[in-house]
Chain A
Amino acid sequence: MPRVDATSLYGTVNLLILKTVSRAPTHGLGIARAIERGSDAMLQIEEGALYPALQRLERDGLLTSRWGISDQNRRAKFYELTKRGEDRLARELDGWVQSTRAICSVLEVGWTVTA
């Protein structure tokens, strides 16, 4: 099965990260795994894109981080959604759904997208 590099989907990396983190505080590795798992390994996120993206999201106040202990009992940096992050996620999700729906309809691809 061909794999898709998630970073090639413009703007989606942030969306994927925010969505993943919104479920529970997660470290970088956990985020990468969750995305792979969630897409049935269709989407793979490059580390070279993931970590700068996390820093950017934290810089913009959408994420906040703190050090904690991972499942394997190791020290890891966990990311968490801020209030602003939640708002942004809801907005971007909505926008993504809208535009995807529009594109699908133009391409005459039958698909149902809901947020």
Chain B
Amino acid sequence: MDRDRVGPRVDGELRRMLLSPGQLEEDVRQELQFHVEGRVAELMDKGWTEADARAEVLAGFGDLERIARECTEIGMERLQRERRTQRIADALADFRYALRTFRRNPLFTAVVLFTLALGIGATTAVFTVVDRVALRALPFQEPERLVVVWEQNVSQNVTSDNPSGSNLFDWRQRSRTFSGLAAWMEVSRTLTGVERPEVLSAAITTGNFMSLLGLTPVQGRLLAPADEPPEGTPTVAVLSHGAWQRLFGGESMLGRSILLDGSPVEVIGILPDGLPAPRPEVDVWVPGELATPDWNRQTRSLNVIGRLAEGVSIEQAQADMDRVAAQLAVEYPESNSGWGVTLVPAHDQVVGETAQILFVLLAAVIAVLLIACANVANLLFGRAATRVREFGVRTAIGASTPRLRRQLLTESLTLGMLGGLGGVALAYLGVGLFLRLEPRIPRVEEVGIDLRVLAFAAAVSIGTALLFGFVPALRAGRADVSQALKAGGGSRARPGRSGRARPLLVVSEIALSLVLLVGAGLFLRSFFTLRAVDPGFERDGVYAAKVSLDRATHPDNTARVAYFDELLRRLRSVPGVAYAAVTSTLPMDPTGTDFDLPRHAEGHPLVSEGGAPQTDYRIVTPGYVEAMGMELLRGRTFNDFDRLETPRVLLVTESLAESLWPGEDPLGKRITIYYIQDAEWEVVGVVGDTHHHGLAVPASHQMFVPLAQAELLFGYMTVVVKAGAGLTLSLDQVREAAVAVDPNEPLFELQSMADFVGQSIARDSLATISLAVFAALALALALAGIYGVTAYQVASRRHEIGVRMALGARRGTVVRQVLGQAMTLALGGVAIGLLGAGALTSVTRSLLFGVAPLDPVVFLGVPALLLAMAALAALPSARRAASIDPVRAMRIE
């Protein structure tokens, strides 16, 4: 046996044992005693009597006790120092020894490190996202004092509607709990006067918006209240850092003028990138006088954010706003009766639902990590069995039990740290991949691996190492020296007590993976149910793009209608295009305009405008229903004869018609829409419902009016084109058609409806895919665990199996028995896992769509699958057991 095999630095164990405090005191006394005797002898040589000599010497010594005590104290300090040094030296030696051991067992080490790297890497990657998105405060000044302010109307079932500017004006005047209230509106502005005109994502904000958030400019200054233009167009603008780089190559823009929608504005500052609110995509910020009393109180279209005054709780602010809303409801019953205010903490508003999903994923990935830990612990147990002799030898030559335990823990920690390094590398790749998927979750632009994440990974690595190394280390101390040395080679060591710990580990692995599999199963079912929802329009072959109309060149509806007529005429002549149309509001468009108007339907009691029910309102051109592939159920769609001078006509959705006039023919019924002219519209057609806000959101009531008859001017409209059956169309030609009409009005955000639908369920698909991946990992690890433990059981019972086969046991019986043992473990794990999964339904309930949290398909199918896989994993060991040659197996003994 070469020196290395016995352990780290054998001489270290044989070296002088450290003194105990009692020994130290005894040493000191003996040393002093020696001195006294020596001096006494000296004096006696000179003729002193012994008694005199002793008295003389002791007198010279002074207080012998005190000296002894002082020496002992100093000696104790030395002992402590030596012990520390020894410990460090031991740790280093253990570490070097661990590395040597790993080099000698490359397969074992590779499997362990891979398992750990996978577990730690996945956990770290998920934590990276959770940390940035859900845990960290928003990057604003004192973000905990920021609240988003919504209007709400309980009777109309509106939980959060955008506030109107006049209400904001009154809130500012009357509330006492805010240090400020600011508003913004998302719009688009066309940048012209540059080589390639581009539609920018813009935000109009109140002058105090940026200072209220506590933003800091990269360059120049922020918008200030004094920048709010008294009327009409703003004269200054702030660019986002990204837009500044993209549009102007980062050259100095401060003080320079740019053309937005044809009007010159001066660039006064540059804002940093990565601000999660209102939206990270905003290119340009312009001031607007949004909080004014002349704003129509019914036009609820602002986003309002407030900063709570110092020391004010959100409950106090809510009570304050309830008071203000109640006053306004009395003063303006027309518009405000029934309307209240809801405050939502800004952090919840930005990440609320996403955070819930992320925490589910974090829990799932931690379960994977625990399973990985159990697997590694299992491997360590297996290896400890083959190292019984090594430890026996070391105990025999004086290594103490704590010393052996420390060595094993050092090996575990080394494995943990190496696995952690691999994990960080995997996490880095994983996060990169995750970002490549362009997940539509808030604050994702902030995600990245940083020191905090590295600290987390280190903590997880150490925690993991302690977790999987603790029990095997404890057990090492119990090795029976004489037994171990007698046992000869390490190949057939007795299972001992680890025989019980390993199956327990496997049971918990199976339980955990069952919970994950059930979760993944539920999410998958939910996701497929969601994807199968018919949105009410076609996804494939339908493309949509936005176009923003310059208010200067298209000042009124006539000009706009003329523009769109021309645009649609050109689009329809693009090869492959079957239909082309324009709408104010595209379904599932996260950045689109969407609003509802109060209306009164024929046959219903007349109520005041303020109390009138509101219905989603869309303006479309003829051909829209056809281009979207919506279903026409009754009557007709719009056509070119619906002009400004012809009677006003309206399309309603099926559910709206059914709720307004149940059992009646809706065609010919009239609806009054309260807007600029409170005009009456006649229903000429009923179309199928569409899921406007996402597949999971029930279809809303909608009404459609023709663009030619509409009174509204929109900032931008959406163009929809549909390819003819079996035809493909060139998106470039679609773009060119728009440029041909007006080079200053390019199409933007051109994508297919399938993309829009995909984006609307992107978060669900992200959660589903991640959970499925984690569950698959968990399953693979648990199966490896089953395989490992059965293989070990068979190996350690070779002899017994051999004897039984010699006594006539059939191969089939042996196979059944091995499988039976594995299945007992699997059944135990499945039973525990089912209890766990059942207990978690309250968490998953709100995240599932169209699937019961105790869905029988999942709750029966997953255990069956897991049991079948477990049997498969145990099969190789069972067959090995059956192929044992009784004669050879017994001869080894």
Contacts and interface: CB of A to CB of B under 8 A. Distances in A.
Interface of A: 27-29, 32, 46-48, 51-52, 54-56, 58-59, 70, 72, 74-77
A48 B37 contact: no
Given A48-B66, A70-B38, A77-B34, 20 more contacts: A28-B34, A29-B35, A47-B61, A48-B62, A51-B32, A51-B35, A51-B71, A52-B70, A52-B71, A55-B28, A55-B71, A59-B75, A59-B77, A70-B34, A72-B38, A72-B41, A75-B30, A76-B34, A77-B27, A77-B30
B21 to A, nearest CB: 14
Contacts of A77: 27, 30-31, 34
A30 B441 CA distance: 82
Contacts of A76: 31, 34
Interface string B312-337: 00000000000000000000000000
A52 B75 CA distance: 9
19 contacts: A27-B31, A28-B31, A29-B34, A29-B35, A46-B60, A47-B35, A48-B66, A51-B28, A51-B32, A55-B28, A55-B71, A55-B74, A55-B75, A58-B78, A59-B74, A59-B75, A59-B77, A70-B38, A75-B34
B39 A52 contact: no
B310 interface: no
Contacts of A46: 60, 62
A52 to B, nearest CB: 5
B71 A74 contact: no
Given A51-B31, A52-B70, A75-B34, A59 B41 contact: no
Contact of B78 (A27, A32, A48, A55): A55
A64 to B, nearest CB: 10
B67 interface: yes
A48 B60 CA distance: 9
Contacts of B845: none
Contacts of B77: 59
A59 B39 CA distance: 26
Nearest to B69: A52
B84 interface: no
Contacts of B66: 48
Interface string B45-83: 000000000000000111100110011001101100100
Given A47-B61, A48-B63, A29 B39 contact: yes
Pick the most buried of B31, B61, B75: most chain A CB atoms within 10 A of its CB. Answer: B31
Contacts of B31: 27-28, 51, 76-77
A54 B32 CA distance: 12
A46 B35 CA distance: 12
A54 B27 CA distance: 13
A74 B78 contact: no
Contacts of A52: 67, 70-71, 74
A59 to B, nearest CB: 4
Contacts of A28: 31, 34-35
Contacts of B34: 27-29, 70, 74-77
Contacts of B60: 46-47
Pick the most buried of B34, B41, B61, B66: most chain A CB atoms within 10 A of its CB. Answer: B34
Nearest to A27: B34
Q: Top 4 closest A-B pairs, CB basis?
A: A59-B78, A55-B74, A29-B38, A77-B31
Contacts of A29: 34-35, 38-39
A11 to B, nearest CB: 17
Contacts of A54: 71
A29 B40 CA distance: 12
Contacts of B27: 77
Contact of A48 (B30, B39, B67): B67
Contacts of B75: 55, 58-59
Contacts of A55: 28, 70-71, 74-75, 78
A76 B38 CA distance: 10
A59 B81 contact: yes
B82 to A, nearest CB: 9
Nearest to B31: A77
Contact of B67 (A32, A51, A58, A70): A51
Nearest to A50: B35
Contacts of A72: 38, 41
Contacts of B78: 55, 58-59
A74 B35 CA distance: 11
Contacts of B32: 47, 51
A72 B35 CA distance: 12
A4 to B, nearest CB: 16
Nearest to A30: B38
Interface string B70-114: 110011011001000000000000000000000000000000000
A20 B491 CA distance: 59
Interface string B11-32: 0000000000000000110111
A56 B74 contact: yes
A70 B31 CA distance: 12
A54 B81 CA distance: 16
Nearest to B32: A51
Pick the most buried of B30, B74, B78: most chain A CB atoms within 10 A of its CB. Answer: B74
A63 to B, nearest CB: 10
A56 to B, nearest CB: 5
A95 B54 CA distance: 40
Contacts of A48: 61-63, 66-67
A71 to B, nearest CB: 10
A103 B31 CA distance: 38
A46 B62 CA distance: 9
A27 B81 CA distance: 23
B870 to A, nearest CB: 60
A6 to B, nearest CB: 14
Contacts of A74: 34, 37
A39 to B, nearest CB: 17
B562 to A, nearest CB: 97
Contacts of B62: 46-48
B67 A47 contact: yes
A76 B37 CA distance: 11
A18 B38 CA distance: 21
B73 to A, nearest CB: 8
Contacts of A75: 30, 34
Contacts of A32: 35
A46 B39 CA distance: 13
Pick the most buried of A54, A59, A72, A74: most chain B CB atoms within 10 A of its CB. Answer: A59
Nearest to A52: B70
Pick the most buried of A55, A72, A74: most chain B CB atoms within 10 A of its CB. Answer: A55
Interface string B475-516: 000000000000000000000000000000000000000000
A48 B59 CA distance: 11
Contacts of A51: 28, 31-32, 35, 67, 70-71
Contacts of B41: 72
A33 to B, nearest CB: 8
A74 B38 CA distance: 10
Contacts of B81: 59
A43 to B, nearest CB: 15
A61 B38 CA distance: 27
Nearest to A47: B61
A9 to B, nearest CB: 19
A15 to B, nearest CB: 19
Pick the most buried of B35, B39, B66: most chain A CB atoms within 10 A of its CB. Answer: B35
A110 to B, nearest CB: 37
Nearest to A66: B16
A55 B32 CA distance: 12
A77 B32 CA distance: 10
A32 B77 CA distance: 24
A70 B38 CA distance: 10
B74 to A, nearest CB: 4
A37 B60 CA distance: 18
Contacts of B37: 74
A75 B33 CA distance: 11
A4 B127 CA distance: 73
Contacts of B74: 52, 55-56, 59
